[in-house]
Structure 1
Amino acid sequence: MGAGILGPMCRSIRVLHNFEPPATEDEIEAAALQYVRKISGTTNPSAANAEAFDAAVEAVAAATRTLLESLVTKAPARDREVEAAKAKARAAERYGSAG
């Protein structure tokens, strides 16, 4: 899978690897939900699709947990506050500062 395949369409999915403290279950589930919403094209599935949607979110979250637990790195852990400040600065540059 090439880097451009998920590019702009998954901007709201955050990097979860190599943080101290590690990614929380809520962060993993939120990323899985965003991914499934984007892939399915809906934020609120119909009753007929709710079961499949929920199963997909669960499967993506499980795969994400497995991946995060399996990854190794020699890089120092990222600091959440520093990364949040960087993201805020990028957004301000991209969209203009709101104040």
Structure 2
Amino acid sequence: MCRNIRTLHNFEPPATEDEVRAAALQYVRKVSGSTRPSQANEAAFERAVDAVEAATRELLDSLVTTAPPKDREVEAAKARERAAVRYGR
């Protein structure tokens, strides 16, 4: 998975529309191989981002879990610890 796409499921508070849009944009950028489409491809790029965003929102709304929601701050602290161990401080 692309490192910039973060897990959005089972967090309290739930993923925002901006987070879902950002994940969709990262996915389309990765698949298309470009961070900024040419003018000729801009409409197709935006349609793809919209479609991925809608599919992501539908998926997140449909998922069911019995696990308690994760705290964003706690998970971010764990990620920082892992990065410190992996890359050094």
User: Among 5, 10, 15, which residue is 2:7 paired with?
Assistant: 15
Amino acid at match of 1:20: E
Structure 2 unpaired stretches of 5+:
none
Amino acid at match of 2:73: E
Identity across the alignment (%) = 73
Structure ranking higher in strand proportion: 2
Residues 1-40 of structure 1, C-alpha deviations (whole Å, 9 max, x = no match): xxxxxx3xx1110000001110000000000000000000
Equivalences for 1:19-98 in 2 at 5 Å? 19-97=11-89
What's the TM-score once normalised by structure 1's chain length? 0.87
**CA root-mean-square deviation:** 0.7
SS in 1 for 2:10: coil
What's the TM-score once normalised by structure 2's chain length? 0.96
Amino acid at match of 1:51: A
Between 1 and 2, higher relative CO (CA 8 Å, sep ≥ 6) is seen in: 2
Alpha-carbon separation, structure 2, partners of 1:47 and 1:82: 41
Amino acid at match of 1:16: L
- Range with greater deviation from structure 2 (82-91 or 21-30): 82-91
Amino acid at match of 2:77: A
